[in-house]
Structure 1
Amino acid sequence: MKFLIDENVLYANKLFQCFGEVKSLPGREIFAPIPKQVSALIVRSVTKVNKALLDGSQVKFVGSATSGTDHVDKEWLQQAGISFSAALGCNAIAVVEYVLSALLYLSQRDGFSLHDKVVGIIGVGHIGRELQKRLNIFGIRTLLCDPPLAEAGIYDENWQSLETLVNNADILTFHTPLTYTGRHSTWHLVDDSVLAALPDGRIIINTCRGAVIDNVALLQALKSGKNLNVVLDVWELEPCISLDLLSHIDIGTPHIAGYSLEGKARGTAQVFNSYSAHVGSEIRTNLQDLLPPPTIRYIHLSNGVDEEILRLLANLIYDIRKDDMHLRRSMTIPDVFDRLRKNYHPRREWSSIVVEIEDYVGCSILQNIGFRANYRTCN
């Protein structure tokens, strides 16, 4: 058994070696012809998996340690008799905490309260649903837009159109797959007409796929004086991103929103367990087997939880400004986009820290928005 694995799939070598020989390559260097002895391929979103890559190979299993699957031709894999597994939802928590970190930073910088804003969530899968839950628990109103789910009758929700969100939401955050055809295609979902319709002062966040927003149209709008606050983690034509666009937005990062240590480990574990089941093995792994202890394990709060306390806790674990700074300072270096992703720091999720708090309501809020919290009466 031989595995060809993207070198950035965390812990993959350690896990898959129990089944056979492992060869690692950068994801963008995995292309045809696949060596004949390779029987399993483990990738991320930067590798296009299709007939052109695998036709004539001996690959019988493809795993993608990612939540999205638009880089994989699943229909062709099925026709070719190749088993496929993705790590659906593995990075949902990381992306949600990235979005919340961005909003907490912007609210402090610009002097507004998130409780006074309406957040429009476009795409209500694993990530959108988790974001809605955390925002609502913290008392922030949300509007939901997901036409395919609305038509399918999924969830009992008051679904809204994108036009309604454009007119009524102060913040638009995108969590859709990238699709090019059909009535609900998402390629350039945000185009000239949507940007023109957006009232000034709106916040746009894109953490799904770069081409969901027309980057050229966005740059033109910002250059022409459109007053928008923009957070981009994903870009059209990445890794060759627009430096001009980067210079006009508020926060820019190199496609790392889902790159928490927990999210990476969760994705690898899901694919590993799927492969193990595929070959009839009973070997399984979990996060506790893989993750190191966090640098900060405990913190004590004597008061309740408000927006400022949440901001302090969030920044203690992950400060989005550092990722923005690293991208802006490094963009003149060749291949820096992929280098920043490959060498990304070990970012933890909110659940990595235990918060002891002397406020019962605050304890409940923290528990429900992702922290491990314990209620402690004061002595």
Structure 2
Amino acid sequence: MPALDAMFGGHAEIRVYPGRDIGTEQVRDADILLVRSVTQVDESLISAAPRLQFVGTATIGYDHIDTQALEARGIPWSNAPGCNAQAVGEYVLTALLTLAERLGVSLAGRTLGVIGAGNTGSATAERAQALGMTVLLNDPPLQRQGDARSFVDLDTLLTRSDVVCCHVPLNRDGDDCTYHLIDEGRLAMLKPDAWLVNACRGEVVDNKALVDHKRACPDCRLILDVWEGEPNPMAELVALADIATPHIAGYSVEAKLRGNWILLNTLAQTLGIHQVPPLSTYVPPSSISSVGLAELGSQGDMARLARLVYDIDAQDRRFRDWFSQPGGFDRQRKAHLERREFMSLTIEGPAQQAGLWSQLGFNTRENPHGTGL
């Protein structure tokens, strides 16, 4: 959780612990508890903190927090909706461009199915449309709420999509249960050469069934950022994945700062903050600030630019080398602290290409001559 001192240091004494090591001893005299997804804020942890006045998670998902237990004790809580939407959308885009480059195929004209059309799913869909992909959306809760977009049922999405992306919260029960949403039966609905991307929660896809499916359908391609059993994913599944990363799709400098900043705004009244500085106050400069393009970008240009900001190939290699070592999964997550979002890079080139790069999330500046990539 970056910039804690800069954001909160003037208002509270800050004690920092590894997320998986936060237990009853660490929270006994805590007034405020700020976490990310690896910390389980359950009844036992809450009961051990009699002074607790607020719990915040600097993440979109909050399945790691027992919200009912907090509400029963009258303790307010907050997540950080939308904080990592851009980072997740850019992760998926970079992974798709990288896999397409490996296979020598074009993404334009292919159909992307997005399961979960909230913040991260929408960010992914917008970028895919900029690449010329057709997008299908499935989100029963949003559809019931009257979202004006066009939706399809899940079975239709699975059978018609060339690429399927999961962007749902983890719900273990109820009408909108997403635990093993993609199970053996639904995997069988996929096209034999479909690509499956999971960048939400590992348990949304039955990992054992996915191993069996990949072995039966070797032309199926897997981009996996999340895993059942984290921080100990199935070694068989890691070996079968085309791109494998340690639950870092939303891990950008900007996303982490944005998550903390959202919590700071929520806490402002409790902490006596009358005016919260803008997020830009905390965002550091990028090591690479601009790139020139003389011509409208090809898919290859897009892939190279995306990897200039985030080298997903290097991340994939490091993860495979380290995930099975003791503590290796979390070490890889912590080593991933300098990834920037596309907005940190300005594309300089002719005005007619600015729209494309803006849709993908880059900043743009007109330069009729460009400089070449």
Tell me the TM-score range normalised by the shorter chain.
over 0.9
Matched, 1:116 2:77: no
Return 218-227 or 60-69, whichever deviates more.
218-227
Post-superposition Cα deviations, 1:123-153, rounded to whole Å, max 9, x if no partner, equal 0000111222222233221000001111221
Distance 2:3 2:334 in 1: 13
2:153 match: 161
> Cα distance 1:243–1:299, how it changes in 2: closer, same or farther (>3 A)?
same
> Cα distance 1:139–1:32, how it changes in 2: closer, same or farther (>3 A)?
same
| Cα offset, 1:196, TM superposition | 1.6
Post-superposition Cα deviations, 1:15-45, rounded to whole Å, max 9, x if no partner, equal 2221121111111111225543211100001
Conservation of the 8 A alpha-carbon contact between 1:34 and 1:53: no
> Cα distance 1:243–1:285, how it changes in 2: closer, same or farther (>3 A)?
farther
Post-superposition Cα deviations, 1:160-201, rounded to whole Å, max 9, x if no partner, equal 011111110000000000001112210001111011221210
| Cα offset, 1:377, TM superposition | 2.7
Return 43-52 or 284-293, whichever deviates more.
284-293
Conservation of the 8 A alpha-carbon contact between 2:232 and 2:324: no
Matched, 1:211 2:209: no
2:279 match: 287
Aligned-residue identity in percent: 36
| Cα offset, 1:65, TM superposition | 0.8
1:98 match: 91
Matched, 1:187 2:183: no
Matched, 1:232 2:224: yes
Distance 1:33 1:312 in 2: 47
1:344 match: 336
| Structure 2 unaligned regions, length at least 5 | none
Return 283-292 or 81-90, whichever deviates more.
283-292
Distance 2:15 2:155 in 1: 48
Paired amino acid for 2:121: G
Matched, 1:371 2:369: no
Paired amino acid for 1:66: T
Return 33-42 or 78-87, whichever deviates more.
33-42
Matched, 1:19 2:11: yes
| Cα offset, 1:378, TM superposition | 3.6
SS at the partner of 2:296?
Answer: coil
Distance 2:303 2:74 in 1: 49
2:34 match: 42
| Structure 1 unaligned regions, length at least 5 | 1-8
Matched, 1:77 2:70: yes
Paired amino acid for 2:339: R
Conservation of the 8 A alpha-carbon contact between 2:251 and 2:337: no
SS at the partner of 1:237?
Answer: coil
TM-score for the superposition, normalised by structure 1: 0.93
Aligned length: 369
Conservation of the 8 A alpha-carbon contact between 2:27 and 2:48: no
| Cα offset, 1:277, TM superposition | 2.7
| Cα offset, 1:247, TM superposition | 0.6
1:126 match: 119
SS at the partner of 2:16?
Answer: strand
Conservation of the 8 A alpha-carbon contact between 1:232 and 1:251: yes
Distance 2:215 2:109 in 1: 28
Return 93-102 or 34-43, whichever deviates more.
34-43
Distance 1:50 1:331 in 2: 27
Distance 1:249 1:133 in 2: 25
Conservation of the 8 A alpha-carbon contact between 2:164 and 2:197: yes
2:213 match: 221
Distance 2:75 2:25 in 1: 17
Distance 2:267 2:303 in 1: 40
Conservation of the 8 A alpha-carbon contact between 2:27 and 2:45: no
Paired amino acid for 1:372: N
1:142 alignment partner, one of 135, 146, 166: 135
Post-superposition Cα deviations, 1:320-358, rounded to whole Å, max 9, x if no partner, equal 111110011113421100111122240111110111112
Conservation of the 8 A alpha-carbon contact between 2:107 and 2:131: no
Post-superposition Cα deviations, 1:242-273, rounded to whole Å, max 9, x if no partner, equal 11110111011000111111111111111122
Distance 1:181 1:110 in 2: 39
Distance 2:234 2:28 in 1: 39
Paired amino acid for 2:74: G
1:310-321 alignment to 2 at 5 Å? Answer: 310-321=302-313
SS at the partner of 1:120?
Answer: strand
Distance 1:344 1:314 in 2: 16
SS at the partner of 1:340?
Answer: helix
Conservation of the 8 A alpha-carbon contact between 1:33 and 1:53: no
| Cα offset, 1:85, TM superposition | 1.9
Conservation of the 8 A alpha-carbon contact between 2:159 and 2:190: yes
Matched, 1:254 2:246: yes
Paired amino acid for 2:291: I
Conservation of the 8 A alpha-carbon contact between 2:113 and 2:164: yes
Distance 1:329 1:34 in 2: 32
Distance 1:203 1:377 in 2: 38
Distance 1:35 1:189 in 2: 35
